[in-house]
Amino acid sequence: MRLVLDREQEQLRSTVRKMLADHCAPARVREVMESPEGHDLPLWRRISGELGLAGLVVPERHGGSGAGHVERAIVLEELGRALAPVPYFASAVLAVDTVLALGDDTLTADLLPRLASGELIGTIAMGDRGTPTVTATAAGELTGSAAPVLSGDIADVVLVYASAPGGPAWFRAAPAGRTTLRTLDPTRRLARLDFADTPAERVDCADAAAVLEQVRDTAAVALAAEQLGGMSHVLESTAEYAKVRVQFGRPIGSYQAVKHSLADIYIAYEQAVSLARYAAWAADADQEALPLAAATAADFVGPAYFAAAANGLQLHGGIGFTWEHDAHLYYKRAKTSELLFGDPGSRRARLADRLGI
Amino acid sequence: MNAFRDKVRHWLAANAPRPGDSPAGDEITVAKRFQAALHDAGLAGLTWPEEFGGQGLTAAEQQIFNEEAGAYDLPTALFTIGLGMCGPTLVDLGTTEQKARYVKPLLRGEEVWCQLFSEPGAGSDVASLQTRAVRDGDEWVVNGQKVWTSGAQFSDFGALLARTNPDVPKHKGITMFIVDMHAPGVTVRPLKDMTGRAPFNEVYFDDVRLPGDAVLGEVDAGWAAAVTMLGHERVSIGGSVRRRYDPLAYAGLADLARRTGRAQDPAVRAELAALHTAERALALFNARLRQEADAGTPPGARGSVAKLAGAELAWRAVSVAGLIAGPGAVAWDDEEGDHLALALTAAPASRIAGGTDQVQRTIIGERILGLPKEPQVDRDVPFRELRVGTQRQA
C-alpha cells in the first residue's frame, strides 16, 4: 500500500490549489452561494473542460485521463478546502462512477466522454440509505421522489436507482419535476426530483444492488477526501487565529485550553489523512480491500470533520458565530457531508456488517 | 519485498514461541536467547547501520516485520527501551568507540538497557532533575534518585540524565551518561504499580563513579540528547507491534463478544466497529510515518500523535471490554478474567508513561502547529534558584 504522494501528485495538488486561490476565493464563494443559481459554472468549465479534472478516473479510451482515485481525491481535497460551489461531486464522482460500475457499452459511449469533458453534468438519485424511493413499472415508467439529490437542480443526466418488478434496477430519466431544497449548507445545492409515470430508459446490468454498493464505496472514498480538505482549512485557519488573537495580554494559542483543543483537531486530522489515503489507494489498487477501507474512512472522517469545524468555530469565540466569518460555512458543510449519504448509526452498522460482527 | 516477507514469515514460523509453549529457562534467559537468534537470522536492527550490527534496511522492511510479528507474542518486551530508545540515541550521538562497544551487544540482547530520566521532583518537567554528576579528575561522581525506571532490575546499562552545572538555567546544565548498572553505589528497588506488579523501579545513586568516556553527546548538552531519545520513545510507544493475542485489540474483543453471545447487541456492534476504526487509524498513521521517513521526512514531533492516539485507543478498548464483559470483568475464576483485569488496571499508564497526554498536546501545539509557548518563569533562571517538585532546592 502507498500512503504518501509522489511528486506528480503533489504537483497536481499545487496546481489545483493555485487555480482555486485565483478563481474561488472566499468572496467568490459567497457571491455564488447568494446567487439564485448557486453553482459556479465558469469555474466548473475551467475545472472540467480546461483542466480535464472531471475525468480523472475515466479511462483514456472514454475521454478521461485514466489517472485514478488517488488523483481525484487530491482534487476533492482542494475543492473541499475552498468550499468550491461546483457540481464536481455529483458529476465527476457519482455519475461517472455509476456509469463505470454499470459497464453498459451504449451508456458508456454516450455519457462518459461528455461527463469527463464537463459538457454534461450528471448526478444520481439513489434513494434513502440504499433503499430506493422511486418505483418503476415493467414498462419502465418511474414514479416517486428522490431527495436530497446533489446538483439535482441543474443535472443534464440523471441516473435513478429504483425498485422494479424483478428487483432494483438502474434507469436513465429526465425527472418530471425538480425542486431546489432549502439547505443547511449554502455552498452545495440539493434538490428533490419527482417522477410521475415518467418514461425512463432501463440500463441492464447483472446486479443493480452491487452497482450501488460499488458506487457508495467509491463515493465514500471521494467524500472522505473532500472532508479532509475542509478539515485542513479549519485546522490551519484556527491555528492562525489563535496566534494573532490576544486576550489577557497573550495570544490565546498560548493557553493550554486552546492549544490542546487545537492539538486534538490535528491528531484527528493526521489519522483522517491516513485512512482516507489508504481508502483511495485501495480504490485504485486493491478492490478486495476497498469495501472495508471505504467504510472505515467514512466512519472516522465524517464525524472528525464536524468535530473539527465545531471546535474550530468555538475557538474563534464570538466572531466565529457571525455570518461574516467563514467558520459557519465549514460547520454547515461538515454536518451536511456527514449526513448526506446516511446517518452515522447506519454507517457504523454497515461497517460492523463488513467486519462480520 | 515479498522475498523479505517470506523470510520473516518462515523464520517466525520456525522460531517464534507459541502460546502454551514452556521453553527452558526463566523469562530473561528465554528473551535473550530469542533476541540473539533474531539477530543471527539478520532480523534484528532492521533499520540500523550495518557497521554496528544492524541490517541497513528501510522502514518498509520494519513495517513488514511488524505485520508478520503481530501474529505472535514475541518475548521482546525486555529490549523495548534498549532497541526503541537507547540504541537509536547511541547511533545518533555516540562516539565511534561507544557505538562499537555498545550497539551490537544491545541488538543481540546480550546487554539490557534502561532509561534513567524521571525523578520524584521531575516528572513532566524532566529538565528540572536534581541528580548531580560532579567532576573528580577524569571521572564523574553521581548522587541522586531516579524513578519509574522500567526494567532496571534486569539492566546492564542505563542512559542517565544528571545535572552537571546548577549555575545555568535548567536546560543548559544537564549531561547524558552511559551508566553501568552493576557499578558500586547503584541500588535498584522495585516499585509496585496499580496492577500489583513491579515492572518499574526506584534507582538510587550513592557516590557512583563514572569514567570520563561515559558521557553520551557533549557535556551540558544532555537536554538535546534527551529530546532525541524522547522522540524515539514516542514513535516507539505509538508504533509498537500490536499483537494478535492482545485481549484488548479489536480482534480479541470481537472474538470475546462472539463467544459470549454479546455480538448481537447493537451497542456492542457499534462500539466494536468504532474500535476497529480507531485501531486502523493509528496503524495507518504509523505506516504513513514510516513511508514518509523512507521518503526523507522524519516523523519529528508527530511521534506525539501516535502516542496520544495509542492512549486514546487503549482507553476506548477498555470501555468496549467492559461493555462486552459486564460483571464478568469484576469477578472471575478463569485466565481470561485475569487478562481482562490486568488490561483494565494497566490502561491508565498509557496516558502517563512516555509523557502525559497533556504534555503531548502541548508538544503538538507548539512544535507542529507553531502556537506560542506559555510564559516560562524558569527559563532564564539559574537552576539552583528554582523550586522543584514539592521542595525548594537545597
Contacts of B373 in chain A (CB under 8 A): 254
d(CA B241, CA B247): 14
Give the Cα separation of A337 and B141 in Å (integer): 64
Compare CB distances from B371 to A3, A262, A270 and report the shortest one's residue: A262
**Measured between beta carbons, which residues in chain B are less than 8 angstroms from residue A270?**
285, 302, 305
pLDDT in tens, B26-63: 889 999 999 999 999 999 999 899 998 899 998 889 88
A-chain residues near B370 (CB < 8 A) = 239, 243
Report CB contact under 8 Å: B273, A355. yes
Please tell me if residue A262 touches chain B, with a CB cutoff of 8 Å. Answer: yes
Distance CA A329, CA A155 (A): 24
Q: Where are the beta strands (DSSP E) in chain B?
A: 113-116, 132-136, 139-147, 157-163, 174-180, 186-191, 200-210, 215-216, 387-388, 391-392
The reported pLDDT for the residue numbered B131 is 97
H helices within B135-249, ranges in order? Answer: 222-238
Contacts of B135 by beta carbon, 8 Å cutoff, 6+ apart: B141, B164
- Contacts of residue B44, defined as CB under 8 A and 6 or more positions apart, other chains included, come to B35, B38, B53, B54, B55, B83, B107, B108, B109
Active site residue B292: no
Yes or no: say if B320 and B246 are a contact pair by the CB < 8 Å rule.
no
Q: Minimum mean pLDDT among B1-5, B15-19, B338-342: which range? A: B15-19
Burial of A27 (C-beta count, 10 Å sphere; 0-12/13-18/19+): exposed
Closest CA to B200 of B258, B148, B275: B148
Q: Are A187 and A89 in contact (CB under 8 A)?
A: no
CA-based nearest residue in chain B for residue A300:
B277
Task: Report helix, strand or coil for B300.
Answer: helix
* pLDDT: which is higher, B299 or A114: A114
Q: Quickly count: other Cβ atoms within 10 Å of residue B295's Cβ.
A: 12
pLDDT above 80 for B16: yes
| Predicted pLDDT at B369 | 98
| pLDDT of the residue at A337 | 97
From B233, B279, B312, B336, active-site residue: B233
> Which positions ≥6 away from B136 have C-beta within 8 Å?
B209
Could A270 and B302 be called an inter-chain contact, meaning their C-beta atoms sit closer than 8 Å?
yes
Taking only Cα atoms into account, the Rg of chain B, rounded to an integer number of angstroms, comes to 22
Query: β-strands B186-191, B174-180: how paired?
Result: unpaired
The pTM score is 0.90
Confidence of residue B237 (pLDDT cuts 50, 70, 90): low
Reported as a single tens digit per residue, the pLDDT across B307-335 is: 999 999 999 999 999 999 999 889 999 98
Is A246's Cβ below 8 Å from some Cβ in B?
Answer: no
If you measure CA to CA, which chain A residue comes closest to B280?
Answer: A275
Report the pLDDT value the prediction gives residue B66, as an integer from 0 to 100: 86
Q: Which residue of A has its CA nearest to B374?
A: A254
Q: How far apart are CA A20 and CA A27, in angstroms?
A: 12
pLDDT of chain A along its 357 residues, tens only? 999 999 999 999 999 999 999 999 999 999 999 999 999 999 999 999 999 999 999 999 999 999 999 999 999 999 999 999 999 999 999 999 999 999 999 999 999 999 999 999 999 999 988 899 999 999 999 999 999 999 999 999 999 999 999 999 999 999 999 999 999 999 999 999 999 999 999 999 999 999 999 999 999 999 999 999 999 999 999 999 999 999 999 999 999 999 999 999 999 999 999 999 999 999 999 999 999 999 999 999 999 999 999 999 999 999 999 999 999 999 999 999 999 999 999 999 999 999 999
Distance (Å, whole) CA B109 – CA B98:
17
